[in-house]
Amino acid sequence: MKPVLAEISVADISSEHMQMVAEQCGLSDAIALMVKMPGLELYIPASAKKFFDWEYVRGNYDGFNAATIAGRIGLNRMDVVQLSKSPAPMGGQLANNHLRLVNERCGPEVAQRLAKNFPGYKFYIPINGLSMAYRKYIERSFTGTNIQELALSCHVTERYVRKVISEMYYSTAQLSLFDK
């Protein structure tokens, strides 16, 4: 049995914000946020990108590879050299509690990708985002005989799978003569 998270697509995610995260940072980052931080509103300060750039330069610059580093983080060569000589921005710590929380719960890579792709952006992580994605997956994957497999792969009950399927068929059922 394949893990269901590998089969979820960006289109299965109902939240516009999480779809943007999935497209820019990767589906695994969007899923990590929905699993570990549901119901939160995150603000990614613009200054966070500078902190992560500084951290990357300090860890990788050897005096000769400024052009390589500049290409990787989207700066020019002179900015890399300047960052290598400057003190840590924001006192050597992450810009705000939101990004710090992402760093702790989802990992520094996720926090770094958010800071790089969404500086100055505010977005909401839905509380039921992953369950809505599971729901779409169940609707798409139901074959008529795989209720148990879907329940096990999505970590839900068979009753829930039957409910999703019945709601799906009910919504596509034939209209009565009096409905327009």
Residue-wise pLDDT for 48-69, tens only, equals 777 778 878 888 889 888 889 8
pLDDT, residue 2, reads 44
Any bridge partners for residue 121, and if so which? 44
Amino acid letter, 128:
N
Region at 40 (left for phi over 0; alpha for psi -120 to 50; beta for the rest): beta
Average pLDDT, the chain: 83
Question: What are the residue ranges spanned by the domains of the chain?
Answer: 47-91, 129-171
pLDDT, residue 1, reads 39
The answer to whether 147 touches 156, Cβ cutoff 8 Å, is: no
What percent of the chain clears pLDDT 90, i.e. is strictly above it?
Answer: 25
